[in-house]
Chain A
Amino acid sequence: MNAAAEDLRPGRRAPLVRLRGISKTYGNVAAVKPLDLEIDSGDFYALLGPSGCGKTTLLRMIGGFTEPTTGTVEIDGIDVTRLGPERRPTNMVFQGYGLFPHMTVRQNIAYGLKVHKVAPSEIRARVDEIIALVRLEPLADRRPDALSGGQAQRVALARALVMRPRVLLLDEPLAALDLQLRKAMQEELRRIHRSIGGTFVFVTHDQGEAMALANRIAVMDAGACVQEGGPEDIYRSPKSRFISTFIGDANVLAGRRRNNRIELEAGAAFDDEGPDEAVIVVIRPEAIALGAAASGSDTLQLAGRLAESVFLGPYVRYRILLDNGAEAIVHSSDLQGRRTLAVDEPVTLSWARDRHSVLPG
């Protein structure tokens, strides 16, 4: 899948990171199949996918930790494919953080600067600046074993950022943190990204995290990039069943197109141009309303019975049993409506045509 050809963003300068024909094979296993990817300066870019999809391998190839089997890596116009991580303008925050246990927080952060023979006065200034940015002042002289998970993560982040890399790489940065801490760290990362205006590329299997942090997402599955774009585009127009169910909840209704008309197994029908084939229609749970809609050719309706309703706080989650036996999930923030619906009561589902996606089934 060629992400570059798809990109029609106006006023776009040359990309900061360009992967061309990049792939990685171990024996007969293709961890990453040949793909092209472009990342712009200033992006907060997510590589999203389930375990084993190749996203970490791809990240490591950008960082220089894994040598690609084929293809090239270009950063800032320079071919860095043959260069090791120490010679690339990138820095990585590793999944286990990799903090040096025999050094204090300050010494950890200063390590890279010392290796690059930066003057001691400048080292001190830059380390102080970054410690202030990630809000670690009270912990500067502690050792890693005296830090909590969230604190260790910030140290790892600071240690990479102090090097002022062109691209900051993060390998599942928030995976080890509990829910509350994760949300707080997401906010921190967004703040830091806005504040320094850098380019971040991170790997995650958590679609909520990808959506919360990234301005562009590359969804990966089995070594290939299956869709690339902004979170809203991917959410509204998923290109496959896998993507629609991996990102957010989705209703996947089976149907068939014949003579430019689609008939859903569950009952509704509408005009849709295209070849005669099996199709699936994907609708997000919040796009469906309960109750008959105002009539118009732009809305579709299905009949069913209420199987279950669960109050989740900001919305109610309804499970509807459709006439053909399939299930539909509806999210409704109309909290009043719940009280008037009983289990097994017949309901009508309706949604606007422009809220669904038709995909080959």
Chain B
Amino acid sequence: MTGRVSRIAWILFGTGTVLFMLLPMVLLVLFSFGGNELASFPLRGLTFDWYTALFAKSDFRVALENSTYLSVAVGATSVPVGMLAAFAFAGLKRRRAGPAIAAMAAPLMMPPLVLALALFSAYSALDISLGLSTVLPGQVVFIQPFVILVIYARMADFDRTLLDSARDLGASPFRAFVTVTLPIISPTVIGAALIAMALSLDEFIITYYTIGGGLTLPTLVWGLLRRSLDPSVNALATLILIGTVGATILAIRATRYRG
């Protein structure tokens, strides 16, 4: 009898924890459609007004453009570099691979704030003016290790005999890569690109410290919150949520697929 009671208790505890973690996001999405000026209950009707207000803001259009540019640029930079790095790591002997990968993953272990301040200081010292071109390297430093690790995990499982076979049949290493390796790992590469883009879209700390006067969607959220309790912030946050969650779901589906 006590067995069943403790099981129920555990289920309740688990459900409660998950709800607690999801509740803020659920409320956020809810209030973005709410008719109230203030985020409170009871809700006065459902409306798209806050979305229309958001799209009317010129700041929003600039931020959207910048965020899109950054996430595409981060994806385009980190994926080719990530592939090269992952191949190199996969070719190392087990013993040497460990420390090498740990060194490469160092940015992940650093607090993003420390990374952001370090970049800011470096840019100031070198007298480089801040803007999108200073945000991009900062984001890449932080996001690159994720991409390398995702692709490396796939490459570690990759059957090297396939490449020997391709060479045996006359293919140059480049041709073997394009006709054999790439098609097989493409789901993983696409997944890694989507993860990179989702991370970039969501990135706040490094962006905030290295963008100077510019705007991305996350820094716009910050700006709107500082000025007032503008409910279109909920709409903005909901859009960011859809963007990152959507990209992540696609990425997970892509990387799980074994060709």
A residues near B (Cβ < 8 Å) are 63, 65, 84-86, 90-92, 94-102, 111-112, 115-116, 159-160, 163
Contact = CB atoms under 8 A, between A and B. Distances in A.
A38 B159 CA distance: 33
A111 B166 CA distance: 8
A115 B170 contact: yes
Interface of B: 159, 161-162, 164-172, 175, 179-180, 183-184, 259
B190 to A, nearest CB: 14
A99 B168 CA distance: 12
From B167, B172, B183, B184, name the one whose CB has the most chain A CB atoms within 10 angstroms.
B167
B170 A98 contact: no
A100 B180 contact: yes
A96 B159 contact: yes
B186 to A, nearest CB: 9
A96 B161 contact: yes
7 nearest CB pairs, A to B: A112-B169, A98-B165, A98-B161, A115-B170, A86-B170, A102-B183, A96-B161
Contacts of B175: 115
Contact of B172 (A86, A96, A159): A86
Contact of A94 (B161, B172, B179, B180): B161
A90 B168 CA distance: 8
Nearest to B175: A115
A100 B259 CA distance: 11
A159 B166 CA distance: 11
A94 B183 contact: no
Consensus secondary structure, chain A interface: loop
Contacts of B172: 86
B165 A100 contact: yes
A84 B169 contact: no
Contacts of A116: 170
A90 B104 CA distance: 40
A154 B10 CA distance: 55
28 contacts: A65-B164, A65-B167, A65-B168, A84-B167, A85-B164, A85-B167, A86-B167, A86-B168, A86-B169, A86-B171, A90-B168, A94-B164, A94-B165, A94-B168, A95-B161, A98-B161, A98-B165, A99-B165, A100-B165, A100-B166, A100-B180, A102-B184, A102-B259, A111-B169, A115-B170, A115-B171, A159-B165, A160-B168
Contacts of A102: 183-184, 259
A91 B161 CA distance: 13
B183 A98 contact: no
A98 B164 contact: yes
Nearest to A91: B168
Given A102-B259, A115-B175, A159 B169 contact: yes
A319 B170 CA distance: 55
Given A100-B180, A102-B184, A115-B175, A91 B169 contact: yes
Contacts of B259: 101-102
B126 to A, nearest CB: 46
A95 B161 CA distance: 9
Nearest to B162: A98
Contacts of B168: 63, 65, 85-86, 90-92, 94, 160
A98 B167 contact: no
Nearest to B165: A98
A6 B191 CA distance: 61
A206 B188 CA distance: 40
B28 to A, nearest CB: 42
Contacts of B162: 98, 100-101
From B162, B169, B171, B259, name the one whose CB has the most chain A CB atoms within 10 angstroms.
B169
Nearest to A65: B164
A316 B157 CA distance: 49
Contacts of A84: 167
Contacts of A111: 166, 169, 171, 179
Contacts of B167: 65, 84-86
Contacts of A159: 165, 169
Nearest to A110: B169
Nearest to B161: A98
Contacts of A112: 169-170
Nearest to A162: B169
Contacts of A98: 159, 161-162, 164-165
From B167, B170, B171, B175, name the one whose CB has the most chain A CB atoms within 10 angstroms.
B170
A184 B42 CA distance: 78
Given A86-B170, A100-B184, A115-B175, 12 more contacts: A85-B164, A92-B164, A92-B168, A94-B161, A94-B164, A97-B161, A98-B164, A99-B165, A111-B166, A112-B170, A115-B169, A159-B165
